[in-house]
Amino acid sequence: MRSLSTVLLFLFVVALTTFSIIVVWPSTPSRYLPGDFWPSGRGIKIGDWERETMRLGLDLRGGAYLVLEADPPPDYQGDLDQALESAKQVVERRVNAFGVSEAEITRASGNRLSVQVPGISLTEAQNLIGKTAALEFMVYDDQYNLVPATGVVNGQTLQMTGAYLKNNTYPSRLGTTFAVNFETTGVGAQLMEQITTRALQYPPGDPRRLLVVRLDGQVLSEAEVQAVIRDAGQITGQPTFSAANTLSKQLNSGALPIPLRTVQASEVSATLGEDSVLASVKAGLVGMAAVMIFMVLYYRLPGVLAAAALVVYTSVVLMIFKLVPVTLTLSGIAAFVLSVGMAVDANVLIFERLKEELRRGRTLNAAIDIGFRRAWLSIRDSNVSTLITCVILYWFGDQFGAALVKGFALTLAIGVLVSMFSAITVTRTFLKMVLGTPMAKSAFLFNASERPVQERPRRRMAEAAGE
Amino acid sequence: MLDFAGKRWWYLGFSGVFFAAALAALAIWGLKPGIEFTSGSTFTVQFLERPVSQAELRQAMRELGHPEARVQASGENTYIVRTSELENAPSLTSGAGPVPPGEIDDIERGLQERFGALQRKDFATVSGSVSAEIARYATLAVLAAAVAILVYIWLAFRQLPKPWRYGACAVFALVHDAVIVMGLFAVLGEFRGVEVDTAFITAILTVIGFSVHDTIVVFDRIREVVTQDPYVPFEEAVNASLTETLARSINTSLVVVLTIVAMLLIGGETIRNFLLVLLVGIVAGTYSSIGVASQVLVAWENRDLARFWRKIRGQGELAAAEAA
């Protein structure tokens, strides 16, 4: 008899599935599904929230992957760890300046940086990261063009750059804004003196009185010169402390603080990725259909319920992938397939138990409860062991920046967790919804009528007593 | 009830044959390490203008200064080329100047001159310092997984007598499956040029995950039967458990096999070998739960090995006595 909680759970599952399908639904379904009557487009927009597309890994959308290792000269004195941290920021800034979205730059073990840039080729990525970057001081010339700020030292014309700043800049408050304080080196002091003296010839408000600081071609600050600067100065006009702090760090790091060597690199063309996505989605749909048909043929009514549970399972997992978001890779897809197998396994375990209990002559209600209770231990132990493997895999993938292995572990772990929910809650609720309908009484629908159940061996008490 | 335990030597013998074959394949051909393990570069290229034969491409690579290049067909007019580490990326320094073109670009240009338009589909390079590390972490990961699983099963079965035996048998089955999969890799490496790369590690770990998953379900049933009535002879308890879980074991692996076959038939070229290995691994994993893990457990419980030794020694003593 359906209890209120069953009905509520059922409604929850239906709502969750509807939500998941809406989230998961592709923008261009005709690419994956036959026919062209499917709703397409991004569709839903609630406030700022718009349906995202699935985040795909480099192997599915094309792009470049690089592992860069710090390659310090033999006499390197500085703090390698800090140098690498600022190198990471330098690389990040350069990649972002290029307008690449979703680039991932992370520290990896062994003084390495792992760089993933979707959508561009390896050569492009290397040009992007390897191009010379520098902090430059600029001024406006008489035609109001931005030109390098130069000075003459020992008869040589030099541009004022980050190379002539000491690496001890620090941020500070300046009224309502923030500033970065710097000290110049010996040559820098002479350059700055000449540059600022020249700027002070012009009246306030004249662009030629401005001193512009650029990093990698991006203007960092633009400020009017107030006095002659020699040994120390300030870059003003930073809106927040953190902006000033970042700038200070950037100034202290300047260009790439240490040479980086490419130790691992790979590239996937966008077309190859596209092919893989289409093939995988198609294969996934066919595979799922095959599994559903098998379940229905073998388990009959519970099989139908399991097929429905599989739809719930798949949509919820994909929904989580989209919302977290999990970067989906080819190995992740393989993990997903495996997790579908494990999700179905949980159902198979339960149904086999259910059948046994039904054949022992229990009512459906009792059989469901006992079947679930007995199957739970197996489901728990087998899934926990899989989760343990996932954790180890994730750690392993993290250690040497193998996105492939990491993605696999994360995908499988999510799949396993949802499969436990699916098996315990979803299938059980579906089964309980059947209770009380005429279907519940049919042994045929539960495939529970053919053979008598095999009883377990027990020590024959009479025999034992007779001995 | 099917008598599994009584025929345990048949089951163990059957998988022993495969196990031995896998070991032999590993010994004879060994694994073909991919660039992740040896360092080197690999790229996939598709020729768009005219059909290019493998020999032509090999010849062209030789002319371009890479006599060591291995060329392998992969789909329509598409080849995977593996070379020693290409000077693809010079050091990225703080010095001035643009990044000079990498060696891969020279090769691409050279091939273009010879064969016309082409498309470089992917490219990967790994230097020596990284490859040693990857191999080390891979081994570590497998060992760590095995130990963690052993401990977990030990804990999960702690209310049974000698719980660590269950863990040990599960790990034994896991090793069995891993070796068979590695043997398959050795065979594929020899005949189809399949290399051991990160996909290989993922495949091994997937198989291990499935193998343990499957074994635990069977062991769980043994636990249930034994707890229900501790006086049932162990062999019978195992038989009952295996009989009861047989349908489930077959159905579950059938489901996974169905999805993998679907992906094999329709899915992309890139993960075909990976899926093939998974397929074999899943079948091996299912079999090993029934035919290896449970049977070793019974053999251990019955002290089969000790008996076996005694028998041999006994016969030896008998022979010695007769000779004297």
User: pTM of the full predicted structure?
Assistant: 0.70
pLDDT for A465 equals 44
Q: What span, in angstroms and rounded, lies between the C-alpha atoms of B90 and B128?
A: 15
**B129 — contact with chain A (CB < 8 Å)?**
yes
pLDDT for A256 equals 62
Q: What span, in angstroms and rounded, lies between the C-alpha atoms of A82 and A172?
A: 21
- Assign A99 a pLDDT band (cuts: 50, 70, 90): low
The verdict on a CB contact (< 8 Å) between A122 and B134 is: no
The verdict on a CB contact (< 8 Å) between A457 and B263 is: no
Under 8 Å CB pairs connecting chains A and B tally to 285
Q: What span, in angstroms and rounded, lies between the C-alpha atoms of B34 and A292?
A: 38
Instruction: Tell whether the model's pLDDT for residue A130 goes beyond 90.
Output: no
* Cα dihedral sign, A274-A276-A278-A280: negative
User: What is the four-CA torsion angle of A112, A117, A118, A120, rounded to 10 degrees?
Assistant: -130
From the number of C-beta atoms within 10 Å of its C-beta (0-12, 13-18, 19+), residue A39 rates as exposed
**A7 — contact with chain B (CB < 8 Å)?**
no
Task: Give B261's contacts in chain A (Cβ within 8 Å).
Answer: 287
Task: Give B248's contacts in chain A (Cβ within 8 Å).
Answer: 345, 348-349, 352
Contact A69, A263 (CB under 8 A): yes
pLDDT digits (tens, 9 = 90+) for A77-96: 667 787 788 778 777 776 77
**A210 — contact with chain B (CB < 8 Å)?**
no
The verdict on a CB contact (< 8 Å) between A261 and B156 is: no
**A402 — contact with chain B (CB < 8 Å)?**
yes
Q: What is the CATH number of domain A63-132+260-267?
A: 3.30.70.3400
User: What part of B 35-54 touches A (C-beta under 8 Å)?
Assistant: 44
Nearest-CB residue to B274 (from A127, A264, A334)? A334
**B72 — contact with chain A (CB < 8 Å)?**
no
- The residue ranking higher by pLDDT, A404 or A243, is A243
- The residue ranking higher by pLDDT, A451 or A394, is A394
**B230 — contact with chain A (CB < 8 Å)?**
no
pLDDT digits (tens, 9 = 90+) for A190-227: 888 888 888 888 888 888 888 888 766 677 778 788 88
User: What part of A 283-322 touches B (C-beta under 8 Å)?
Assistant: 283-284, 286-288, 290-291, 294-295, 298
Nearest-CB residue to B231 (from A67, A268, A459)? A459
pLDDT for A132 equals 46
Please give the share of chain B, as a percent, with pLDDT higher than 70.
89
Q: What chain A residue is nearest to B276 in terms of C-alpha separation?
A: A334
Measuring CA to CA, which residue among B187, B179, B202, B177 is closest to residue B293?
B177
Q: Which domains does chain B have, with CATH numbers?
A: 5-34+130-311 (1.20.1640.10), 40-126 (3.30.70.3400)
The verdict on a CB contact (< 8 Å) between B125 and A262 is: yes
Question: How many CB atoms are closer than 10 A to CB B154?
Answer: 17
pLDDT digits (tens, 9 = 90+) for A44-75: 555 555 556 777 877 778 888 888 888 777 76
pLDDT for B20 equals 94
Task: Give B247's contacts in chain A (Cβ within 8 Å).
Answer: 352
Q: What is the DSSP-derived secondary structure letter of residue A438?
A: G
Nearest-CB residue to B152 (from A340, A388, A412)? A388
- Please name the amino acid found at residue B181: V
A438 prior amide bond cis, ω within 30: no
Q: What span, in angstroms and rounded, lies between the C-alpha atoms of B307 and B108?
A: 66
pLDDT for A269 equals 78
What would the mean pLDDT of B53-70 be, rounded to a whole number?
85
Instruction: Tell whether the model's pLDDT for residue A244 goes beyond 90.
Output: no
Do A4-55+269-441 and A63-132+260-267 come out as alike in CATH topology? no
Q: Is residue A161 classed as helix, strand or coil in its secondary structure?
A: strand
Instruction: Tell whether the model's pLDDT for residue A317 goes beyond 70.
Output: yes
- Among A46-50, A103-107, A241-245, A416-420, the minimum mean pLDDT is found in A46-50
Instruction: Tell whether the model's pLDDT for residue A462 goes beyond 50.
Output: no
Q: Say whether domain A4-55+269-441 belongs to CATH 1.20.1640.10.
A: yes
Task: Give A404's contacts in chain B (Cβ within 8 Å).
Answer: 198-199, 202
The verdict on a CB contact (< 8 Å) between B206 and A456 is: no
- Assign A234 a pLDDT band (cuts: 50, 70, 90): confident
Contact A401, A67 (CB under 8 A): yes
pLDDT digits (tens, 9 = 90+) for B141-155: 778 888 888 888 888
pLDDT digits (tens, 9 = 90+) for B195-238: 777 677 777 877 887 888 889 889 988 988 888 888 888 888 89
Q: What chain A residue is nearest to B122 in terms of C-alpha separation?
A: A268
Interface test with A, best of B39, B122, B204 (most A CBs within 10 A): B122
Q: In what order do the strands lie in the sheet with A170-174?
A: A170-174, A177-183, A232-238
- Assign B287 a pLDDT band (cuts: 50, 70, 90): very high
* Reported ipTM: 0.74
- Among B101-110, B165-174, B242-251, B279-288, the minimum mean pLDDT is found in B101-110
Which residue ranges make up each domain of chain A? 4-55+269-441, 63-132+260-267, 136-240
- Among A132-146, A323-337, B82-96, B127-141, the minimum mean pLDDT is found in B82-96
- How high does pLDDT run on average in chain B? 81
- DSSP assignment of A15-82 equals HHHHHHHHHH--S-GGGTSSSS-S--SS--EETTEEPPPPPB-HHHH-EEEEEEEE---TT--S-HHH
Mean pLDDT highest for which of A112-126, A269-283, B212-226? B212-226
The verdict on a CB contact (< 8 Å) between B216 and A338 is: no
User: What is the four-CA torsion angle of A108, A83, A263, A412, rounded to 10 degrees?
Assistant: 10
What would the mean pLDDT of B64-80 be, rounded to a whole number?
81
pLDDT for A39 equals 62
Q: What span, in angstroms and rounded, lies between the C-alpha atoms of A259 and A262?
A: 10
Q: What span, in angstroms and rounded, lies between the C-alpha atoms of B213 and B298?
A: 20
- How high does pLDDT run on average in chain A? 77
Q: Is residue A291 classed as helix, strand or coil in its secondary structure?
A: helix
The verdict on a CB contact (< 8 Å) between A267 and B123 is: yes
pLDDT digits (tens, 9 = 90+) for A358-400: 888 888 888 888 888 888 888 888 888 888 888 887 887 776 5
Q: What span, in angstroms and rounded, lies between the C-alpha atoms of A63 and A122?
A: 7
- Among A70-74, A389-393, A447-451, B61-65, the minimum mean pLDDT is found in A447-451
CA distances from A145 to A139, A149, A210, A212 (A): 8, 12, 12, 12
Measuring CA to CA, which residue among B26, B61, B21, B40 is closest to residue B190?
B26
Contact A49, A302 (CB under 8 A): no
Vertex A375 angle, CA B297 and A321, to 5°: 105
Q: Which two structure tokens, joined as six digits, stand for A260? A: 């980086």
Contact A358, A88 (CB under 8 A): no
Instruction: Tell whether the model's pLDDT for residue B75 goes beyond 80.
Output: no
Cβ within 8 Å of residue B305, ≥6 positions away: B299
